[in-house]
Amino acid sequence: MTEPKWLKLARGEVGQHEVHGEHDNPVILRYYADAGHPEIRHDEVAWCAAFTSAMLERAGEHSPKTLSARDFMRWGKPLKTPKPGCICVFSRGDPRGWQGHVGFYAGEEAGLILLLAGNQGDEVNIEHVSKARLLGYRWPVTASNSSTIKSVATGLAATATTAAAAVSEIATAAPDQTLKIGAELKGLASWAPWLGLAGSVVILVTLACVAWAHYRDLAKNGK
């Protein structure tokens, strides 16, 4: 199975580690910034969630932009079966507590999950993590895999088609009145810009219908 872009990017970060003391690793500080937290100035602030968000953002995916691992349980969509690159969320300490750990699924070995993550032993690496700590697998939601987005898009397309048909029918029957409606809508643009746009669309549809009716009459009369 082809690995997603964010997992490939994460593999390229393996070996990055904290710099203990008063100095900080600028690469890790960049993870915080890409995750929406440029205010973090020290690489010893918990950064597994920042690393995960940063890789997703760099791959062009929306992330929760969080510093809390468990926030990923409210992001994306759940997976029943893991696949390369899916986000794994684990408990840390009390399973019912707020602490956690997050990273990318890189396979399994001896019944353990191979997790590619940041802040594992203060670095980016791949570690074996027990499934007993697993809270869930998550995957980014996109327009292509979201049933909600598809449903809304289908509904909007159907509505637009119906509206266009209605305007076309009215425009053909009474073009003068339809042009007047379009002009009135355009006059409301200062109050609501979208009404001005709607008015322009009505006028264009009306003119197109008039032109088509004229052409059809000419063709019917052999001219």
pLDDT digits (tens, 9 = 90+) for 8-58: 999 999 999 999 888 999 999 999 999 999 999 999 999 999 999 999 999
CATH number at residue 67: 3.90.1720
What pLDDT does 211 receive? Answer: 65
Domain that holds residue 24: 5-139
Q: What is the pLDDT of residue 205?
A: 73
Q: What is the pLDDT of residue 85?
A: 98
Q: Among 139, 161, 186, which residue terminates a domain?
A: 139
The predicted structure's pLDDT at residue 17: 97
Which residues lie closer than 8 Å to 220 by C-beta, 6 or more apart? none
- With tokens 């890789």, the residue in question is 55
Judgement on whether residues 30 and 79 belong to the same structural domain of the protein = yes
- Based on the domain organization, do 122 and 35 belong to the same domain? yes
Residues, the chain, total? 223
Residues 132 and 187 in one domain: no
Residue-level pLDDT at 172: 59
Separation in Å, CA 162 to CA 110, 118, 122, 196, 207: 58, 51, 58, 20, 19
Residues 31 and 125 grouped into a single domain: yes
Q: Are residues 28 and 101 in the same domain?
A: yes
- Residue 112 shares a structural domain with residue 81: yes
Asked whether residue 119 falls in the same domain as residue 171, the answer is no
Looking at residue 118, its amino acid is: G
Q: What is the structure's pLDDT at 91?
A: 97
Residues 14 and 104 in one domain: yes
**DSSP states along the chain:** -PPPHHHHHHHTTTT-B---SS---HHHHHHHHHTT-TT---TTS--HHHHHHHHHHHTT------S-GGGGGGSSEEESS--TT-EEEEE-SSTTSS-EEEEEEEEEETTEEEEEESSSSSB-EEEEE-GGGEEEEEE---TTT-HHHHHHHHHHHHHHHHHHHHHHHHHHH-HHHHHHHHHHHHHTTTT-HHHHHHHHHHHHHHHHHHHHHHHHHHHHTT-
CB atoms under 10 Å from CB of 149, counted, come to: 13
Residues 50 and 103 in one domain: yes
Same domain, 127 and 99: yes
Ramachandran region, residue 134 (left: φ > 0; alpha: ψ -120 to 50; beta: rest): beta
From 139, 158, 184, give the residue that closes a domain.
139
At residue 24, the pLDDT reads: 96
| Segments of the chain with pLDDT less than 50 | 144, 146-150, 152-154, 156-157, 160, 190
Assess whether 96 and 182 both reside in one domain: no
Of 69, 104, 139, the residue that ends a domain is 139
Task: Verify that 77 and 129 share a domain, yes or no.
Answer: yes
Domain tally for the chain?
2
Encode burial over 94-129: b for 16+ CB neighbours within 10 A, e otherwise: eeeeeebbbbbbbeeeeeebbbbbbbbebbbbbeeb
* Sheet of strand 87-91, all strands in order from the earlier edge strand to the far edge: 77-79, 134-139, 87-91, 100-109, 112-117, 125-129
